[in-house]
Amino acid sequence: MAQGMGEFRSEVQGPRAVILLSGGMDSSTAAAIARREGYALHALTVDYGQRHRCELEAARRIATALGAVEHLVLKVDFTGFGKSALTDSLDVPKSRPIHPSAPDIPVTYVPARNTVLLSLALAYAESRGAWDIFIGANAIDYSGYPDCRPEFIAAFESLANLATKAAVEGLGRFHIRAPLLRLTKAEIIRRGLELGLDYSLTHTCYDPLADGRACGRCDACQLRKKGFAEVGLPDPIPYAD
């Protein structure tokens, strides 16, 4: 069963939006974009038993920094399913070549994760009168997960407007916003910096050390380091390597 905890501020100005906030670079940038567009942010973070639990605290930092009116943390345990290096005892791949078009989906894929997370975000949005849901999905510099593709985002938006009382009664239409979908990591970083986002507050690594430092060699670290290298700036987080 999901368990929630969070912070709420009653004063809400502007239209509401739900942002799926993991605490990583992409979701934080998507949240900053939503904030710049004038949305009152309702941040949703899901504790699904991920081994990189440092991201939960990073999500709290980002929600605070961006002035979210509410930050809800739900516990939905994926560990019982297994079959993912992020929720099971499987090794996280290190220093592997990353090709999003490769036929093999990496073992860091969590079964149906974005489908579940967007479903939770949809329920949250309907309960708050928010018609826009932001997700930091990216289909350019990514590990090849099937639930980060444009086809998936479009399909879920159609589902959202078929499966909710608010949409069926004609009160409005839900929009799944994925503003980073077709951006490279370098373009994402540039956009975040333009918005004043502090990337030192974020966490990306799939297999961090006990002291919180990023491993530097998992897929997520490689993509993040590649992005900062292309921008020509040092990454503000510490790495083990």
Can you give the pLDDT at residue 100?
60
In this prediction, residues 87-106 reach a mean pLDDT of 84
Please list, in sequence order, all residues whose beta carbon lies within 8 angstroms of the beta carbon of residue 55, skipping any fewer than 6 positions away. 22, 23, 24, 203, 204
Can you give the pLDDT at residue 14?
79
Each residue of 211-223: pLDDT tens digit?
A: 999 999 999 999 9
Can you give the pLDDT at residue 209?
95
> What are the extents of the domains in the chain?
3-231
Can you give the pLDDT at residue 97?
85
Question: Rounded to an integer, what distance in angstroms lies between the CA atom of residue 41 and that of residue 19?
Answer: 7
pTM of the model: 0.93
In this prediction, residues 106-131 reach a mean pLDDT of 97
CATH class of the structural domain 3-231: alpha beta
Question: Rounded to an integer, what distance in angstroms lies between the CA atom of residue 95 and that of residue 241?
Answer: 12
Can you give the pLDDT at residue 98?
76
Asked whether residue 102 carries a pLDDT value surpassing 80, the answer given is no
